[in-house]
Amino acid sequence: MAAPPDTAPPAVAPAPGGRRRRARTAAGLLCGVLVLAALGYAGLTLHHRLTTIDLPQADTAPQSGYTLTVYFTPSEAYYHGPRRSIRGQACAGQSTPATFPADYLERVDLEGFGKTARGDYLGRDFDRKCYFTTGTPPLGSNDNPLVPWRSVAANHLSPGTEIRVTDCGPGLTAEICTRVKAAHWRVDDLCSIGCDDAKHLDLYIGEQTRAAIEDEDFYFVTTGATVRIGAPKALR
């Protein structure tokens, strides 16, 4: 028997709407690109606003009426008062020495940190009202190192804000005033005691190196100082 002639399979009609689906897909991609572009523009606009409007981009005009005080890291070696126990006042997970000179602890309670006779540091956690020890030199409120004649404690300025003192006000010797004005101050810390005034800056002068530090010219309180407030910079 002769084989039946080959017959081509019937042509399959394209599924209805195929072109329309591709058209919708293309339209969807185009819309997605437009949305991303719009979001990117909005993000750039927001970033531009944050960096050019919300944050100062240049130094402000000098502002008068500031109070300047200083703080330091006391050293246990210069304190010889009756010893006071801090047993039971250690922060959670800490094991601190049992006793210290009472006058040394009073100063640590004021300054926030103190160097111990062992060479490490005793810190005061003001929020939890407890003590801790650390081998790390004093840190500011953002865990950045405090730098003598550079770091400032202030409660009403953003961390990293640059400050220059242009007029010291009364009460400083010419030598100390020159040093204060030459320093490039920066907000590295919060002031825990006595800094409710928005125009109060507490300047860090480093670790104690002599017993009668409060009698030194560089331990001062001055009012009526004039300062120039700069833009915040990232802390390191």
Specify whether the CB–CB gap between 112 and 192 falls below 8 A.
yes
Dmax (CA) of the chain: 127
Condensed to tens digits (0 to 9), the pLDDT of residues 77-91 reads 999 999 999 988 999
The answer to whether residue 158 sits within a structural domain is: yes
Only one residue has tokens 């009073």, namely 106
* Structural domain contains residue 29: no
Report pLDDT digits (tens) over 50-69. 332 233 445 679 999 999 99
Determine the distance from the C-alpha atom of residue 62 to the mean position of all C-alpha atoms in its chain, rounded to a whole number: 23
Residue 103 and residue 69 in contact, taking contact as beta carbons nearer than 8 Å: no
Say how many domains are in the chain: 1
Position 4 in a domain: no
Range(s) of the domain holding residue 193: 63-232
Domain-embedded: residue 117: yes
Tell me how far the alpha carbon of residue 14 is from its chain's centroid.
66
Residue 68 near residue 185 (C-beta atoms within 8 A): no
* CA distances for 139 relative to 52, 58, 234, angstroms: 31, 28, 16
In this prediction, residue 95 carries a pLDDT of: 80
Write the CA distances from 102 to 10, 65, 200, integer angstroms.
103, 36, 28
Q: How far apart are CA 232 and CA 157, in angstroms?
A: 9
Residue 152 maps to a domain: yes
Q: What is the pLDDT of residues 21-55, one digit of tens each?
A: 323 333 443 334 333 344 344 443 333 323 322 33
Query: ∠180-184-185 over CA atoms, to 5°?
Result: 80
The series of mean pLDDT values per 10 residues for the chain, 236 residues long, is: 41 35 36 40 35 43 95 97 93 87 96 95 92 94 93 94 96 96 96 82 96 93 96 73
- Indicate whether 132 belongs to any domain: yes
Residue 11 lies in a domain: no
23 in any annotated domain: no
Kindly state the helix (H) or strand (E) to which residue 107 belongs, with its residue range.
Answer: helix 102-111
